[in-house]
A and B are shown apart, each in its own frame.
Chain A
Amino acid sequence: MSDPRPLAQLADQVLRPQRSLWSDAWRQFKRNKLALIGGIYLLFLVVLAVFAPFIAPHNPVKGDVKTAGKYRQAAWITTDNPKTTGSWEYPLGTDGNGRDVLSRVIYGTRISLVVGFIPMIIIMLIGVPIGLIAGYSGGRVDNALMRVTDVVYAFPALLFFIIMQISLGETWFGELLNGLVLLFVTLSIISWSGVARLVRGDTLSLREKEFIESALASGATSSRVLSRHIFPNTMGSLIIAAAFIVPSAIISEAVLSYLGIGLRPSVNLAAPFPTSWGQMLQSGASQYRNQAWLLIAPSLAVAFITLAFNFVGDGLRDALDPREQL
């Protein structure tokens, strides 16, 4: 009996390369222009952060009041005073210590990215196992883990961050790497609960699927089922979650530094992480009448990075999770 389907369709089926979930998602993602722009902008920031010493026109810590001038205006703003009039030598002007604002913003990219990504990784490392175990084992273990998670989830995050920073900021631990280490811990210590809930929910529904049953029937151990069958299937929602955790950590850092309890300012000329956008916001907020770009530059930097992450996050959601198309 001959196949009733037209030959062309058969050929198509044979010749067309196989499409996996991920390549499908990538095609979908590419079609979203905003997401693509966001992604490219983030790659650009990574390049800025890595090559900051070669890109930044000046040292971000060394103030040179004599030549740079205090509160020099941005390049396109002219004043009568030769020490404060705009100059392309200092495109975004200088701060109260004669430090180049543009160079500081460029170096600030480093902290923003690090403070966004490292807590995200810690959050995943805590939240994913808890969610997997709770969802897979069910019963009492699930109950116990989820009650703890619920309490943590109900904590007002920013308040807790503030209290952590006040309490531990002046201990030896809080002074490691100018406070970066403490900040990583602070930013991860609550948000894992959201990830744990997410993974637990996914695990609960995956557990009932036939492919898990068949894996168990063919003798796979629980740990194999969890690592090979359940975890890979939660990746989609985890990637989407990550795209929104990173900017919220970046915002929290900015808020804490703005309140003066985030990172410590560095005076070391060779410091790899000399300043953050949050610290620049703090010093800019009191001086924006003297030199507006002291405040505008870090504000725009924070606004653009959070926008970029949101675009990418929305794009990922459309690509990976067809149920929740916003």
Chain B
Amino acid sequence: MIEYLIRRILWVIPVIIAVAAVTFFLMYRAPGGPWDREKPLPTAVQKTLDVQFGLNKPLWINPKEFNERWANGERNPLLLAQGYFDSRFFTYMGGVAKGDLGPSYASKGSESVQEVIREKFPVSLKIGLVALLFAVLVGIPLGAAGALRQNTPVDYVSRVVSTIGAAVPSFVSGLLILIFLTRQFGYSPIREPEEWDGWGKAFILPGIILGLSTMAYLARLTRVNMLETKRQDYVRTARAKGVSETAVVSRHIMRNALIPVITILGPAAADLVTGSIIIESIFNAPGLGEEFVQSIGKRDYSMIMGTAIFYAVLIALANVFVDISYGVLDPRIRRGSH
């Protein structure tokens, strides 16, 4: 189990390196430099900015620096290697390893990408938490009600909601809900900026819409698993022993049926992250998703790259968490060989 845990956690590293390398490569390929504006900057200013951000260095490796150091009589292999790898890519990767995602080009370097993330992410996190809370508090009871009252109107509602919710992407159902609310109740999705500070009503609707598909998946999975556990012999045994119905449902059915439900939290995390990109722009929420969309428009490549890596780390960690908690909760997996 310990070995599996360590392997699982270490596996995140190559994934992040691959994500960072591919992102870096593709962003370098993107047209237009970071200093392209409607009014071009003077060449001298551009040069200083390039030096400041290390954009004058070669992309992957720097043999020139190596040769220079060698010619200057440098023989320390570490310093020579440092010269050889003194490139934009390795400087960036070194920064990523230390949690430094570089300066945001759009702010001309006055703000670093990680500062922007630190400032914007809390709003996204709060919307995501509301979404998760909604998904769990509505999805699991909905699925459970459907399973306990199979083939009744309750079950019918549970199945319709979970089928539609899981099939239709949340941003499409979100837009439809929004149109309905604006036309029927004069609701306005646009909020004042200060409404996003702290906890407020502003988070409710974006959170619910963001959580719709996760809720639907949870309901569906809970229902299927409970239908299966309901028929197990140990449930019949418990009933035969005279265990009360509440105890049978909560201790024997629910507890066993909910373990596989945890697996959904990994994909759900990915869904919430990518969903937030669009939901936040619909609601004008000043979160990281909205910032990401803005930086696409502004061609702020360092911001796009940094946010993508941040999201990738987040999703990878969520997956690790799911794998580990699954192992901890289910003894069959804990003892099984991996």
Q: Write the residues of chain A forming the contact surface with B, with a CB cutoff of 8 angstroms.
A: 150-151, 154-160, 162-164, 166-168, 170-171, 247, 251, 254-255, 258-261, 281, 285, 288-289, 292, 295-296, 299-300, 302-303, 306-307, 309-311, 326
Contact = CB atoms under 8 A, between A and B. Distances in A.
Interface of B: 11, 14-15, 18-19, 22-23, 26-27, 29-31, 163-164, 166-169, 171-173, 175-176, 178-179, 182-183, 220, 224, 270, 273-274, 277-278, 281-282, 293, 296-297, 299, 304, 308, 311-312, 315-316, 319
A254 B172 contact: yes
B186 to A, nearest CB: 11
B20 to A, nearest CB: 11
9 smallest beta-carbon distances between A and B, as pairs: A310-B167, A167-B26, A158-B274, A167-B30, A154-B15, A303-B168, A170-B31, A251-B169, A307-B167
B296 A281 contact: no
Contact of A156 (B175, B296, B312): B312
Given A151-B18, A167-B29, A159 B311 contact: yes
Contacts of A302: 168-169, 172
Given A163-B23, A299-B176, A306 B31 contact: no
A288 B179 contact: yes
Contacts of A295: 175, 179
Contact of B311 (A156, A164, A171): A156
B26 A247 contact: no
B175 A285 contact: yes
Residue of B169, B183, B224, B273 with most partner-chain A CB within 10 A: B169
Contacts of B26: 163-164, 166-168
A307 B183 CA distance: 25
A151 B15 contact: yes
B167 A306 contact: yes
Given A255-B171, A259-B293, A285-B282, A159 B274 contact: yes
Contacts of A258: 171, 278
A306 B167 CA distance: 6
Contacts of A163: 22-23, 26-27, 304, 308
Contacts of B18: 151, 155
